[in-house]
Amino acid sequence: MMETVTIHLKSPPDRTYDILIESGLIRKIGSDLQAHQSGNRYFVVTDTNVADLIGKEFMGLLRAAGIQGDLFAIPAGETSKRWKSVSRITERMTTFGLDRRSAVIALGGGVVGDIAGFAAAIYMRGIPYIQVPTTLLAQIDSSVGGKTGIDTDRGKNLLGAFHQPTKVYIDPNLLRSLPEAEIKNGMAEMIKYAVIKDPELFDTLNRHSSQILRLEASLMTRLIARCCEIKGEVVEKDEKEGGLRRILNFGHTVGHGIEAASDFAIPHGAAVSIGMAAAAKLSRAERLIAEDEAQKIIDLLRQYRLPVEVPPSLEWTRILGHMKSDKKFVDKTPLFVLVKRIGEVFVYDKLGLDRVEAVLSDRH
Ligand SMILES: NC(=O)c1ccc[n+]([C@@H]2O[C@H](COP(=O)([O-])OP(=O)(O)OC[C@H]3O[C@@H](n4cnc5c(N)ncnc54)[C@H](O)[C@@H]3O)[C@@H](O)[C@H]2O)c1
């Protein structure tokens, strides 16, 4: 059954959009675009892996619906999220003759979504774009909320723009070809949503892990919709990260430090998982959460075979060093998202880095 989540962004201009979620949805995108969108041309940005898997089929489906489109693939991986790709994409958009009535379609994971969204944000001062996310992380996180951007030598996502998509089409069937490591990246974010906002989702993740890890279609459709709804609720209240949106960074302050300290050898999901376990430990040490509640978070992460401890080869001093240079540190005060109970988190600024190091390296 199709699920629809509407993101209401009414501050002028009205940028409200729908997220459609259904197994097999990929086959309906062409006709839906014809019925609802006013785009005269579509420029599909993807990466080389996704192009090999579904590029031909996707373009064939668009053509069958009477849509002329052009496909452009960037090399797969984070290293493509750079200015040079934006420049190649926008040059191709110019050659293809895209104008302000045209639209970009991002067909891929978060890398493609961020870069295609950014190209759409700056091309002719902004043209519409549509997200067709193909990784679990992109389906529950990066395709929703309108953050677009690229990396620079100085760090991740340092250049970017807020630019909301006009529609998001999510087909959970596409997840079947994802490597296990990418499923784990997404599961870490799903657990994050449960901890920050939804004890019922937490319970479902706890009770149905084997069906979820088998990517059972109807259950995944419901879970993806719920995650989009949670992210949507936060984004609706705080589109440009003035405050509330920070709760989406639960596990990420420490997680980003771990990713950077490992020179990105530790995948994002694993780093965020260790970060969420760290946040649970810090919350417990500060007596903000009950012992058994904090343990439940750590146990759920373990159930999804996500790590909860920093590998011995990484030192906390190195991780904290990277955290200090994080752009999320306001005036060098670390802002941690800590947890009161499953479903309720808050931003906490009373933790000095010394205390963080002592708790996390078990010396408190
Ligand atoms: N804009 C936001 O709000 C936001 C939020 C979170 C993350 N991000 C960004 O998202 C990026 C990470 O996204 P990601 O984890 O999707 O990584 P990704 O886009 O690199 O995709 C991961 C890998 O999966 C492959 N892949 C994609 N779909 C596939 C499929 N259906 N089957 C098989 N393989 C497939 C890709 O080619 C790639 O090799 C980061 O750059 C991060 O900064 C953005």
- 163 is known as an active-site residue: no
Beta bridge partners of 344: 341
What mean pLDDT comes out for the span 299-311? 96
Distance 153 CA to ligand 1 centre (A): 20
Instruction: Give me the DSSP letters along 11-60.
Output: SSSP--EEEEE-TTGGGGHHHHHHHH---S-EEEEEEHHHIIIIIHHHHH
Q: In the annotation, is 185 catalytic?
A: no
Q: What is the pLDDT of residues 11-31, one digit of tens each?
A: 888 899 999 999 999 999 999
List all residues 6 or more positions away from 79 whose beta carbon is below 8 Å from its beta carbon.
none
Structure-block tokens of residue 205: 């993740």
Which of 357, 154, 187 has its CA nearest to residue 260? 154
Segment 314-325 shows an average pLDDT of 85
Check whether 328 has a pLDDT greater than 70: no
Tokens of 358: 């002592």
* Residue 231 bears catalytic tag: yes
Pocket test for ligand 1, best of 80, 148, 182 (most atoms within 8 A of CB): 182
SS3 207: helix
pLDDT tens-digit series, residues 170-224: 999 999 999 999 999 999 999 999 999 999 999 999 999 999 999 999 999 999 9
Which pLDDT belongs to residue 250?
A: 96
Place of tokens 């509330």: 244
Indicate if the pLDDT at residue 306 is higher than 90. Answer: yes
**pLDDT on residue 96:** 93
* Interhelix angle 199-207/291-303, nearest 10 degrees: 50
Q: How far is the CA of 122 from the centre of ligand 1 (A)?
A: 21
Residue of 197, 268, 281, 284 marked active site: 268
Closest to 108 in 3D by CA, of 76, 61, 148, 141: 76
Which ligand 1 atom sits nearest the alpha carbon of residue 148? 1
Q: Which residues pair with 61 in a beta bridge?
A: none
Q: Give the whole-number percent of the chain exceeding pLDDT 70.
A: 97
How many helices (H) and strands (E) are present in the chain, helices listed first? 15, 11
pLDDT band at 259 (very low <50, low <70, confident <90, very high): very high
d(CA 284, CA 281): 5
DSSP H/E element including 111 = helix 110-122
Distance CA 243, CA 175 (A): 32
Q: Is the CB of 145 under 6 A from ligand 1?
A: yes
Relative to beta strand 147-152, strand 69-74 is unpaired
Mean pLDDT of 78-85: 97
Distance of CA 52 to the CA centre of its chain: 23
3-state secondary structure of 347: strand
Alpha-carbon separation of residue 235 from 76, 162, 187, 272 (angstroms)? 28, 11, 20, 20
pLDDT of residue 315: 85
CA–centroid distance, 293 to ligand 1, in Å, is 31
- SS3 label, residue 192: helix
CA distance 170 to 7: 14
- Structural contact between residues 65 and 99, judged by C-beta atoms closer than 8 angstroms: no
Average pLDDT on 122-128 reads 97
The one catalytic residue in 231, 246, 281, 284 is: 231
For the chain, give the number of residues: 364
pLDDT band at 316 (very low <50, low <70, confident <90, very high): confident
**What residue's CA is closest to ligand 1, atom 33?**
178
The string of DSSP codes covering 149-170 is: EEEETTEEEEEEEE---SEEEE
User: CA distances (Å), 344 to each of 47, 202, 236, 341, 363, in order?
Assistant: 37, 12, 18, 5, 27
Determine the Cα–Cα distance for residues 33 and 110; give it in Å rounded to an integer.
22
pTM for this model (two decimals): 0.96
pLDDT at 329 over 80: no
Q: Which two tokens stand for residue 51?
A: 């192009």
Amino acid at 209: S
